Amino acid sequence: MKLFTSIGRGWMDGLLAFHDSLAVLGETVCETLALPLRPGRFRGRDFLVAFQRAAFDGLPICTGIGFLLGLILAFESAAALRTFGVESYVADLLAIGLFRELGPLVTAIVLAGRSGSAFAAEIGTMKVDEELDALSTMGLPPVRFLVLPRTLAATFAMPILTIFVELAGLVGGAIVLKMMDIPGAVYWGNVVRTADTFMITFGLAKAAFFGMLVGFVGCCAGMRTRTTADGVGVAATSAVVGGIVSVAVSDGVIAVVCHFWGV
Amino acid sequence: MVRLEHVDAGYPGEVVLRDVSFEVNRGEVFALLGGSGCGKSTVMKHMIGLNPVLAGDLTVAGERWTAKTRAALCRRIGVMYQSGALFGSMTCLENVLLPLEEFSGLKRRAREEKARSLLADVELLDAAEKMPSEISGGMRKRIAIARAMALDPEVVFLDEPSAGLDPITSSALDDLVLRLRRERAMTFVVVTHELPSIFKIADRCAMFDKARRGMIALGTPTALRDGSEDEFVRRFFNRGES
């Protein structure tokens, strides 16, 4: 009996969370659409603070991870490709892998861990301290104050971080190929030939979309924080898990759709 | 000013208090009393429009809380939360400025002047540029009162203003409430269970009991202390003694 009760509760909690997220999504969309009409109402300073923390403070870790990613990818693939004497194709593999897929995906995972959890913890703490109630009773929608600036900050931060991950990854790959006596000119020439403008733009657009997802999921988790001792911790965890899952699922959907559209 | 008629208070699926009826008159300090967990904060949450009532009728300044009236009603009330609920990323001055920026329509200089005069009213002009984390709990509550008064509300709700404060700070906060009531003719609804505070500031009070899930007394604090025949009311006012 207990098992059925807990399964039922789990489902109900999940449905309620989905319902709440939809409500926040609706409000966020309305506020975003209203932004050009009333730009003065946008909390620009909150956006800049969130943007600085998400983008600039995240640059060192993203660059480091990108560099290691490129290094490992190049090392592992070069070993296999060398068997066929085509190790110069590592550049093609890296360019396609980083610009189209791994760059945005890995950056989104890092952003979920750094900023998604931070958004959830910030908003969750505000909820526990009754600051969200204070906003509501002042007639100020918490979505406009808290969700919109952070979601937009994550959306704009992601392409910047992704560019750094991709460039650092290419540098990592270059170092490996240099060690394998492949001339730098050949490597960079292959990268430029493979990575066309569409591929780069597509990857960055996907990055912005992932940023929006991570930011929104983090903020939603914060808004749903329970006022218990472990409430903020649970919210931060669910922001990271929810952010990564939503990015992975949407990346899969985008990959399938692109395959059928021949993109 | 605030009227509750046969209100069931609580949350969806959970009635905390049944059939609550009372009226708060303009210009009075009205206290909501009761033991911990009796539902007094729940009643206040209905009064400030955070939660809808489960049954009955609740009006603030003659209006019900609906989606249509919400925006206007929010500007006619001020709320001080138990923790102060100041925004940690803003200075004390910015906290008081926020409602003025959003709703007052005043020019920048006029807004700042008004915010500074509100801070002077609560005797905390020196703390204007400090962050909430840099000031004490009592100061945070006074800043929260200044913020609550920013739009010259008709009624101010105070949730446990004395909670966590030493007797001297608590008494100073009571003096502040009395002075503001006198100078600005504001109505105050105060959630508290601090007896010295109740006797000092409250004109009338409503008392709730968790066990009976309802309002058990209504009147002036002295009348309830001296004249009530209810065992719980007598014990409450005599600090646990019958």
In this prediction, residue B80 carries a pLDDT of 92
In angstroms, the separation between the Cα of residue B55 and the nearest Cα of chain A is 21
- Do residues B169 and B72 share a domain? yes
Arithmetic mean of pLDDT, A181-190: 88
The range of the structural domain enclosing residue B64 comes to 1-76+154-242
The range of the structural domain enclosing residue A254 comes to 58-261
3-state secondary structure of B11: strand
In angstroms, the separation between the Cα of residue B22 and the nearest Cα of chain A is 22
ipTM of the complex: 0.86
Q: At residue B242, does pLDDT exceed 60?
A: no
Quick check: is A190 in a domain? yes
Nearest residue in B to A131, CA atom: B85
Percent of chain A at pLDDT > 70 equals 100
d(CA B211, CA B233): 13
Alpha helix positions (H), chain A: 2-34, 44-51, 59-83, 90-96, 103-111, 117-128, 131-137, 142, 148-179, 184-194, 197-223, 231-261
- Do residues B147 and B166 share a domain? no
Among B113, B133, B152, the domain boundary falls at B152
- Do residues B72 and B159 share a domain? yes
Quick check: is B124 in a domain? yes
d(CA A61, CA A59): 6
Quick check: is B82 in a domain? no
Quick check: is B48 in a domain? yes
Quick check: is A46 in a domain? no
The model's pLDDT over A87-107, given as tens digits with 9 standing for 90+, comes to 878 889 999 999 999 999 999
The CA-based diameter of chain B, rounded to the nearest angstrom, is 58
In this prediction, residue A241 carries a pLDDT of 95
Interchain contact A20–B (C-beta under 8 A): no
Among B125, B152, B179, the domain boundary falls at B152
pLDDT confidence band for B169 (50 / 70 / 90): confident
The model's pLDDT over B96-129, given as tens digits with 9 standing for 90+, comes to 999 998 888 888 899 999 999 999 988 889 999 9
CATH of residue B39's domain is 3.40.50.300
Arithmetic mean of pLDDT, B5-19: 89
Under an 8 Å CB criterion, which residues of B touch A?
48-50, 70-71, 74-75, 77, 79, 81-83, 85-89, 98-99, 102-103
Give the pair of three-digit tokens for residue A260: 């059928």
In angstroms, the separation between the Cα of residue A255 and the nearest Cα of chain B is 40
Quick check: is A51 in a domain? no
- The pLDDT mean for chain B works out to 88
**Cβ neighbours for A135, distance < 8 A, ≥ 6 positions apart:** A141, A142, A145, A146
Cα torsion A181, A187, A190, A191: sign: positive
- Do residues B15 and B91 share a domain? no
As for how many domains chain A has, the answer is 1
- Asked if B98's CB is within 8 angstroms of A138's CB, the reply is yes
* Size of the A and B interface in Cβ pairs below 8 Å: 47
